[in-house]
Amino acid sequence: MTRLVTVDPNHPDTSIIADAARVLVSGGLVAFPTETVYGVGANALDAAAVEAIFRAKGRPATDPVIVHLASVEQVHDVARRVPAIVYDLARAFWPGALTLILEKQPCLPPSVTAGLPTVGVRVPAHPVAHQLIARAGVPVAAPSANRFSRPSATRAVHVLADLDGVIDLVIDGGPASIGVESTILDLTVSPPVIRRSGGVTLSHIQHILPEATALAEFFGDHDVHLAPGQSLRHYAPRAALTLYIGQVDDIALRVGADVRAAVAAGSRVGVLSPEEDLMALAPRLAALGRTGRVVTMRYGARRKLDESAHELFLALRALDAEGVDLILASAPEADGIGLAITDRLTRAAEGRVVRLHR
């Protein structure tokens, strides 16, 4: 049985945190909120506990997991030959939504790193995550708390929908504030490269590390991934998703036509878009909306990218709950955290991307 406990996200009950820490230290699995998404954690030094995460999620062994720490001082416990730039980045972004890939210490089980000589580490900012890791006194390996390839969990109810009965404990600390996973910066290559876009943007990192670049990489489940979140199919709803990228008016014209064609073919269609796109689409979908064959779902707005990131996975799961046959989605500009949004939707679409150019 999976236990569910609820805490105040800013002032979690210390007895609940202590109980959850005991579960971790004894080899159990605990799901907890971070500022990015919910994670499902295990003692990173316990090979059997880490392997239990992979079984619970259905995660391929080729996909490494991030190790979460309570402070930058713990980096040397799991990484070696730590470059000085780590401390500059830590002062700027830790605790927070930045993961750094470093050379691993031999104490980490191969399951944590997919057999790679490197490990991703971060210090989360959420009070629940921070206090849990500090109380446990061990590094915590924690991927997102959902079935592998599904949309990430940003609320405890999402964790239970995917992992109820296969993990020990869920700590409900309310919604995750950012809504997309951490940025992963690889410091073992030159120049350093962002292998996954997330809550910390490239421009922010370049203030500290001007030579840093970003790279979108796509791997199959049987390939060894250089960082988490690089699968071609990832963050995906049950319904097939197609992503449209372009200007608002162009998207309204194309998506409107594609919705009409899909409905005529007998499909029930979900439309997932920022506010501006849905407003432009509304006149084209008005008649179809009355048939019950079209479900529209807003996630944020192009002018409010932080809001879009916060609502993305919630909206994807809500469309799944509607039982639509397919989803037509659009993304905001791929700038700042918009780059992370586009990345998540591209993977959710398994590469089915329609780029509209004037």
Q: Give alpha helix (H) positions in 195-289.
A: 202-208, 248-264, 275-289
In angstroms, what is the C-alpha Rg of the chain? 20
| Separation of alpha carbons 256 and 166, rounded Å | 42
Which whole number is the average pLDDT over 41-62?
97
CATH code, residues 3-214:
3.90.870.10
pLDDT confidence band for 289 (50 / 70 / 90): low
CATH 3.90.870.10: which residues of the chain?
A: 3-214
The pLDDT of residue 115 is 95
- Give the number of other CB atoms < 10 A from CB of residue 286: 10
Q: Is the pLDDT of residue 229 over 90?
A: no
170, 31 Cβ separation under 8 angstroms: yes
CATH 3.40.50.11030: which residues of the chain?
A: 240-355
Q: Is the pLDDT of residue 9 over 80?
A: yes
**What confidence tens digit (pLDDT) does each residue in 110-123 have?**
999 999 999 999 99
Which whole number is the average pLDDT over 128-147?
98
Which whole number is the average pLDDT over 26-36?
98
Q: Is the pLDDT of residue 220 over 90?
A: no
CATH class of 240-355: alpha beta
Of 32, 21, 276, the residue nearest 153 (C-alpha): 32
The pLDDT of residue 358 is 67
**What confidence tens digit (pLDDT) does each residue in 157-167 have?**
999 999 999 99
Tokens, residue 6: 């609820």
Q: Is the pLDDT of residue 216 over 90?
A: no
Average pLDDT in the chain: 95
Please list, residue by residue across 261-285, b when 16 or more beta carbons sit within 10 angstroms of its beta carbon and e when fewer do.
ebbeeebbbbbbbbbbbbebbeeeb
Q: Is the pLDDT of residue 65 over 70?
A: yes
Of 242, 194, 212, the residue nearest 348 (C-alpha): 242
249, 237 Cβ separation under 8 angstroms: no
| Separation of alpha carbons 193 and 213, rounded Å | 5
320, 237 Cβ separation under 8 angstroms: yes
pLDDT confidence band for 221 (50 / 70 / 90): confident
**What confidence tens digit (pLDDT) does each residue in 293-329 have?**
999 999 999 999 999 999 999 999 999 999 999 999 9
Least confident of 37-41, 229-233, 261-265: 229-233
Least confident of 11-15, 46-50, 223-227: 223-227
Which whole number is the average pLDDT over 234-259?
95
